[in-house]
Amino acid sequence: MGHLGALLFLLGGLGALANICEITEVDSTLVERLGQRLLPWMDRLSPEQLNPSIYVGLRLSSLQAGAKEAHYLHSLKLSYQQSLLRPASNKDDNDSEAKPSMGQLALYLLALRANCEFIGGRKGDRLVSQLKRFLEDEKRAIGHNHQGHPRTSYYQYSLGILALCVHQKRVHDSVVGKLLYAVEHKPHLLQDHVSVDTMAMAGMAFSCLELSNLNPKQRNRINLALKRVQEKILKAQTPEGYFGNVYSTPLALQLLMGSLRPSVELGTACLKAKAALQASLQHKTFQNPLMISQLLPVLNQKSYVDLISPDCQAPRALLEPALETPPQAKVPKFIDVLLKVSGISPSYRHSVSVPAGSSLEDILKNAQEHGRFRFRTQASLSGPFLTSVLGRKAGEREFWQVLRDPDTPLQQGIADYRPKDGETIELRLVGW
User: Tens of pLDDT along 73-114?
Assistant: 999 999 999 988 887 654 444 444 457 888 899 999 999 999
The answer to the question of whether 108 is labelled as a binding residue is: no
- Residue 41 in marked binding region: no
C-alpha angle 138/191/259, rounded to 5°?
80
CB atoms under 10 Å from CB of 417, counted, come to 16
**325-332 mean pLDDT:** 53
pLDDT on residue 53: 95
Residue 223 assigned as binding residue: no
Q: Quick one: pLDDT at residue 100?
A: 81
Residue 283: other Cβ atoms inside 10 A: 9
- Is 287 annotated to bind a ligand? Reply is no
Residue 155 assigned to a binding site: yes
pLDDT band at 15 (very low <50, low <70, confident <90, very high): very low
Q: What percent of the chain is predicted at pLDDT more than 90? A: 53
- Among the listed residues 391, 390, 387, 423, the one whose alpha carbon sits nearest the alpha carbon of residue 407: 423
Instruction: Kindly report which listed range (40-54, 73-87, 305-319, 345-359) carries the lowest average pLDDT score.
Output: 345-359
153 is in an annotated binding site: yes
Identify which has the larger pLDDT, 193 or 379: 379
- Position 143 confidence tier, pLDDT thresholds 50, 70, 90: very high
Consult the annotation and say whether 137 binds a ligand.
no
pLDDT, residue 192, reads 46
pLDDT tier for residue 328 given thresholds of 50, 70 and 90: low
Asked if the peptide bond before residue 47 counts as cis, ω within 30 degrees of 0, the response is: no
pLDDT tops 70 at residue 295 = yes
Q: How far apart are CA 138 and CA 151, in angstroms?
A: 6
Position 8 confidence tier, pLDDT thresholds 50, 70, 90? very low
Give the separation between CA 142 and CA 146, rounded to whole angstroms: 5
According to DSSP, the β-strands at 334-342 and 424-431 are parallel
Quote the pLDDT of residue 135. 96
Helix, strand or coil, per DSSP, at residue 354: strand
pLDDT score, position 271: 92
**What is d(CA 201, CA 199) in angstroms, rounded to the nearest whole number?**
6
Calculate the average pLDDT of the chain: 86
User: Is 294 marked within a binding site?
Assistant: yes
Q: Say whether 378 counts as a known binding-site residue.
A: no
d(C-alpha 197, C-alpha 391), whole Å: 29
Q: Which of 212-221, 276-285, 410-419 has the highest mean pLDDT?
A: 212-221
Q: Tell me the pTM.
A: 0.79
Query: CA-CA distance, 45 to 55, in Å (whole number)?
Result: 12
Instruction: Find out whether 152 is annotated in a ligand binding site.
Output: yes
pLDDT at 163 over 70: yes
Position 5: which residue type? G
Q: Between 5 and 303, where is the model more confident?
A: 303
- As a whole number of angstroms, the distance between CA 412 and CA 304 comes to 23
Strands 408-409 and 424-431: unpaired
The arithmetic mean of pLDDT across residues 320-336, rounded, is 68
Nearest to 149 by CA among 188, 101, 203, 100: 188
Asked if residue 185 lies in contact with residue 225, where contact means CB atoms within 8 angstroms, the answer is no
